Amino acid sequence: MKIITKAALLGTAVILSACAAKTVTQPIRQIAVMTEESLAADNKVDQLITGFAFEYVRLTLEAGTHEAEWVDAYYGPEDLQSRATKSPRSKESLLADIKILIARIDAEVLQKETRADVLQRASALRGMLVAADTRMRMLSGEKFKFDDEAKGQFATVPQLKTLSHYDAILARLETEIPGTGPLATRVDAFNERYVIPKERLKPVFDAAIAECRKRTAQHMTLPNDESFVMEFVTGKPWSGYNYYKGNYKSLIQINTDLPIRISRAVDLGCHEGYPGHHVLNLMIESKLARGKSWSEFTVNPLYSPQSVVSEGSANYGIDLAFSPAERLAFERDVLYPLAGLDPKTAEAFWKLQQATEALSGARLTIAKLYLDGEIDRAKALELTQKYQLLSPKRAEQQVGFTDHYRSYVINYGWGKELVKGYIERGNPDKVERWRRMEKILSEPVLPADLAAQ
């Protein structure tokens, strides 16, 4: 808040001197009065939005008592959290207060304000509140169609292809993958040859994350005291998770319920770590929560438009950190020996991953059909095996994720498309791509901003 006020004062002083130079005939007293008025107005809006942001944090923490995973990360004042959790409002009164806050932001900030940075902040805050409204209505039993649920929680509706689009890709793979039996079984059997033995997981993941970090640090300045702890866990609905703890620290967990294939080391190292979730969170803490004292960024709800940028940039970050050839070379020369796998077979596995990448969008199409009740769970499992080329066990994990997180699944594939579209617009060089990446990691960004710019 102090920094915003200083910036506003400084900005006004510059405008005043520019005006004074151009309008020498204007009485100085009148300019002074105008300046005081505009200063007061700026301060009033700044004070309002600071208050709205504080209210948003409070209600988010209280909402977290109604759904354990609502609050994905919080690193603001502890007493605020303990007060919120001691006497939380009911779902009904939180819902009513969320609606009041949205209406006040519309009337008192968005319809009056002209400063771009304030509008950007207010729009982002509004998006978070609309997400909270949608999520709270879902918790209260309201049912949404897939697209409406996605729009409400994430401020975007994915453009999905029909499953028939993916049939041509399957037909091509049929001719490329040797063997008999269903394609999914053949591909899964091939992929299972690239599992990292359990006792080698740690050195392989340590090396992968270190490389992701090194490549990210070549393009972004990371705080000296940033760090993470990595753990291997079981019994989770996800394959990896970043728990951001504040003070530039993360706990990264990797789920070993199912055997982990060698390609997942770079995937998860970039996605959960660098330049993915760990970097996004520390950038937000550094630039917004600390740098601008924008308190709404001290809390990260799981279901909000921020998740589109978070998951989308974490997935895009893999391709940003490694070109396809660089990735193959690193995996073959460094990770395969650490995993005890034959480096001579690396290219064949890498080629298959590249070839099947084009099927990833089918996951969202299946999720939409399933969540909209157009297919039952057994059909969702069958289609997941067919179009994602998975064993029944892995398909079960994927559909289980959809059961648990519902339309959150759009944030991976669709979020990546939005982030890629923004960063690669005009085919910029590597330096510019990293610059754009840093920009969206450290500003309040809505999905519409990615599509519009």
Q: Both tokens of residue 450?
A: 């990615």
Q: Where in 385-414 is the site for Zn ion (CB under 5 A)?
A: none
- Find the shortest distance in angstroms from Cβ 302 to Zn ion: 10
- Find the shortest distance in angstroms from Cβ 271 to Zn ion: 6
Angle between helices 163-176 and 183-191 (to 10 degrees): 60
Looking at the DSSP bridge assignments, the partners of residue 261 are 195
One character per residue 130-169, x = contact with Zn ion (rule: CB under 5 A): ----------------------------------------
Q: Is residue 257 within a helix (H) or strand (E), and if so which, with residue range? A: none
Instruction: Give the DSSP per-residue string, 213-239.
Output: HHHHHTTS---TT-EEEEEEE-S-SSS
Cβ closest to Zn ion, residue 152 vs residue 415: 415
Cβ closest to Zn ion, residue 300 vs residue 385: 300
Cβ closest to Zn ion, residue 314 vs residue 450: 314
Cβ closest to Zn ion, residue 72 vs residue 311: 311
Cβ closest to Zn ion, residue 314 vs residue 440: 314
- Find the shortest distance in angstroms from Cβ 163 to Zn ion: 25
Angle between helices 377-388 and 392-405 (to 10 degrees): 120
- Find the shortest distance in angstroms from Cβ 17 to Zn ion: 48
Cβ closest to Zn ion, residue 194 vs residue 316: 316
- Find the shortest distance in angstroms from Cβ 112 to Zn ion: 37
Cβ closest to Zn ion, residue 88 vs residue 301: 301
β-sheet with 249-255: strand ranges across: 227-233, 249-255, 240-246
CB 230 within 8 A of CB 252: yes
Cβ closest to Zn ion, residue 295 vs residue 300: 300
CB 73 within 8 A of CB 281: yes
Residues 6+ apart with CB under 8 A from 389: 173, 183, 184, 187, 188, 356, 359
Please name the amino acid found at residue 107: A
- Find the shortest distance in angstroms from Cβ 277 to Zn ion: 6
- Find the shortest distance in angstroms from Cβ 210 to Zn ion: 20
Cβ closest to Zn ion, residue 56 vs residue 316: 316
- Find the shortest distance in angstroms from Cβ 243 to Zn ion: 11
One character per residue 284-323, x = contact with Zn ion (rule: CB under 5 A): ---------------------------x--x---------
Cβ closest to Zn ion, residue 4 vs residue 441: 441
- Find the shortest distance in angstroms from Cβ 162 to Zn ion: 27
Looking at the DSSP bridge assignments, the partners of residue 251 are 229, 243
Give the C-alpha separation, 64 to 139, whole Å.
11
- Find the shortest distance in angstroms from Cβ 165 to Zn ion: 26
Give the C-alpha separation, 46 to 150, whole Å.
31
What distance lies between CA 206 and its chain's CA centroid? 23
**With helix as H, strand as E and coil as C, how does 322-374 read?**
CCHHHHHHHHHHHHHHHHCCCHHHHHHHHHHHHHHHHHCCHHHHHHHHHHCCC
Looking at the DSSP bridge assignments, the partners of residue 195 are 261
Closest residue by Cα to residue 252 from 292, 309, 213, 221: 213
Residues that bind Zn ion (CB under 5 A): 311, 314
